[in-house]
Structure 1
Amino acid sequence: MAGCQIDTKGFSRRIKNHIVGPEHRFAIVVPAEFAGICLKEVSSLEIKDPESSEAGIEFSGRLKDAYLCNLWLRSPSRVLCRLAPFRAGVSEELFYKVSQIPWELWLNPEIPLDIEAHVEYSRISHEGRVAEVIADSIQRCLQEKGAVCPPCGAPRSDEAEVKQKILVRLEENHCLISLDMSGRNLHQRGYRLRHTGAPLRETLAAAILSRSDWNGNEPIVDGMCGSGTFAIEAALMSRRIAPGAGRDFLFQRWPSFQKETWEYLLRKAKDDSLLRTPGTIIGIDIDEEAVGVSAENAGRAGVGADIEWKKMDFFDFNPRDVGIKEGLIVLNPPYGVRMGAGGVSLYEKIGAHLRRNFKGWKYAVLARSRLEASAMSTGRVRLWSVRHGGMNIAVALGKVLS
């Protein structure tokens, strides 16, 4: 029980009876546009009855199931553990009911608390007041039980410091408290220590690969690889490597952490992975530094030998020159670029290159707008709107006609 001041047989028994043994309600936070992809991922873990919710996906299960979600899910942002909901119409009632939660079984006293409250249509209308009452109630609860109280109200600007996020939703006088299990956002796999420019989130890359109908065995070319995220995520998916295997999680520092269970899940994930990718994966960039950064990131991800990196202009690349058949081409071009004095857009040039050299290939191309994406003129295309870098972008998905 790392960091916990209480270490008695009675405490361990209470952990088993109240935290480890019973089922809990869990929420997987995922953007709405990824929810369908995430639901398929959760179902593949044989978790019973996952269902869509306002947060993303929810299910009932034991801690081991939530460990699995943190370890294996590629598209969501984080995993939350829901505590039992209750009604609270006034501050005194909120204080009392929060104090009845066995916080000493949930919280590591060495990790500062970060309480975020969201209030709608409730008698206690001030979010700051709700967060203050909950912090005071947790402190009183722990003091009365002789437990050490975590510090509260640490500045959120300190991103390097791990915090126990407690999310509170008070809606129509009904309170729902959730504990973050993940810590750092799940897109932070642990391999991208360097990047070039505005990096593509790993969760977005994985979701696009899933949405593109790539089967994991077909060749894949990342034509403007940047930091290599598309190619690396493809290699992880193709080799069935768990995306969370190379990082740590907040739940590992909880008093209830089941180390043996977690180590078993890691061993099983390693045993179930493939030694090499079944298909060819190529990453291309015109910038030498980008190619070097991509190769470093791939090495940290454990897939360095699975990806062939090429420093060259994508528009000089022809898959027939390297002897690969139809697969998937993914592109994350610089947005808004125009080519030459004639004003031909980058997307028109991409479309022409695809029609000339990638007939029969599936494609996934990111664009700043639907208008840019449509400039490729590659025939029938599906446009998928997603968030990236704080703005809405379009992902063009289709197949280059033979």
Structure 2
Amino acid sequence: MNPDVIPAYIVTTSKSRLYHSDAVKESVESGVIKRMKTIYPSYSPKDGSIKIFVRVADDRVTISLDSSGDPLYCRGYKTMISDAPLRENIASAILLHYNLNDFDEIIDPMCGTGTFLLESLIQLQVKNHCGLRSFSFENWPVFSEATFNYIQKKHLAESQKTTVKITGSDISAKNIDCCKKNLENLHGEHTTDSVTFYQADFFNLRKMSEKLLVVINPPYGKRIETDSSLNDFYIKIGNKLKKDFKGAECAIIVPGIEAEKALGLRYTSKIPFMNGGLPVAVLYLTV
């Protein structure tokens, strides 16, 4: 660490004799200060500008230095969010199930603020999205700004306009405005003409491309008032997909087994995860 870098300590303990997190923090902090003063005699930390994580579990201690700063799901482009946003890294992981270049079109008919579609664009085309944010490792003594800039420029040079059509729609005009702003923030070459956003009701849409991927994160949780209305909503989604999107590949998020049953579609793969504190799962299927 540089002498002007001041650590903050985040300590967690579990099933260990070292159970007092404040005592662990004081011990680690004392050791770091003692070591830093052998290198920088005037070292005198006051505020936390970087994070040192101390994890104590089953009498084993792991000490790690935060290299990212903000969590990695914070890409930097998403300045406009909806009431129930999907984290960017989760959307990206869901999309990695597919080779996106295999499709003529990727659509999200309940796109919210566009996370699925902007992550699709990143995977297909925008190779330099890390340039939209900063990282803690940029303050490390070993960090080379010249090397980092070279890597970013190299990725930018490798970016090519995708031939895959990316389309987002939402019933909310406000959400569509947010999508367009987030797309502008991504600012990769050709990005603004690679994605189309428009206001529409999913239940008025139909399949327009032969090789189509449909990705959906429908409303659930507080956005749906009762379990019965949630189930009715997923029944309606399933019926719409079967009627007007036959043959499409689909990844859809469901908030529990009842919604999964209500959807009424046979899936090939199911991956459970937590979203916004709620247990959900993504279902992969061919309609």
Query: Do both proteins adopt the same fold according to a TM-score greater than 0.5, normalized to the shorter chain?
Result: yes
1:271 aligns to 2:166 (yes or no): no
Amino acid at match of 2:24: V
Larger mean CA deviation between 376-385 and 309-318 belongs to 376-385
CA–CA distance in 1 between the matches of 2:246 and 2:53? 49
Number of equivalences = 279
Look up the match of 1:368.
255
Look up the match of 2:234.
347
Amino acid at match of 1:378: L
TM-score (norm 1): 0.64
SS in 1 for 2:258: helix
Mark the CA change 1:124 to 1:382 in structure 2 (over 3 Å): closer, same or farther.
Answer: closer
Q: Deviations over 1:212-233 (max 9, x none)?
A: x243341100110111101100
Look up the match of 1:223.
109
1:282 aligns to 2:167 (yes or no): yes
1:142 aligns to 2:39 (yes or no): no
Shift of 1:174: 4.4
Mark the CA change 1:124 to 1:380 in structure 2 (over 3 Å): closer, same or farther.
Answer: closer
Mark the CA change 1:189 to 1:318 in structure 2 (over 3 Å): closer, same or farther.
Answer: same
1:331 aligns to 2:225 (yes or no): no
CA–CA distance in 2 between the matches of 1:352 and 1:171? 48
Contact 1:189-1:244 within 8 A present in 2 as well: yes
Q: Percent identity?
A: 29
Note the aligned Cα RMSD (angstroms).
2.4
Mark the CA change 1:149 to 1:281 in structure 2 (over 3 Å): closer, same or farther.
Answer: same
Look up the match of 2:7.
113
Q: Which runs of 5+ in 2 are unaligned?
A: none
Look up the match of 2:285.
398
SS in 1 for 2:46: coil
SS in 2 for 1:325: coil
Shift of 1:171: 4.7
Amino acid at match of 2:9: I
Shift of 1:109: 4.0
CA–CA distance in 1 between the matches of 2:229 and 2:140? 61
Contact 1:214-1:328 within 8 A present in 2 as well: no
Contact 1:381-1:398 within 8 A present in 2 as well: yes
Look up the match of 1:293.
178
Q: Deviations over 1:169-218 (max 9, x none)?
A: 3456543321110000011110011112121100010011112x243341
CA–CA distance in 2 between the matches of 1:326 and 1:176? 48
CA–CA distance in 1 between the matches of 2:18 and 2:273? 35
TM-score (norm 2): 0.89
SS in 2 for 1:176: strand
Aligned with residue 140 of structure 2, among 234, 254, 263: 254
Amino acid at match of 2:114: G
Mark the CA change 1:230 to 1:172 in structure 2 (over 3 Å): closer, same or farther.
Answer: closer
CA–CA distance in 1 between the matches of 2:225 and 2:30? 57
Mark the CA change 1:373 to 1:255 in structure 2 (over 3 Å): closer, same or farther.
Answer: same
CA–CA distance in 2 between the matches of 1:123 and 1:356? 60
Q: Deviations over 1:287-343 (max 9, x none)?
A: 1110010011011112222111111101111133xxx2222101111116489x999
Contact 2:102-2:211 within 8 A present in 1 as well: no
CA–CA distance in 2 between the matches of 1:192 and 1:222? 17
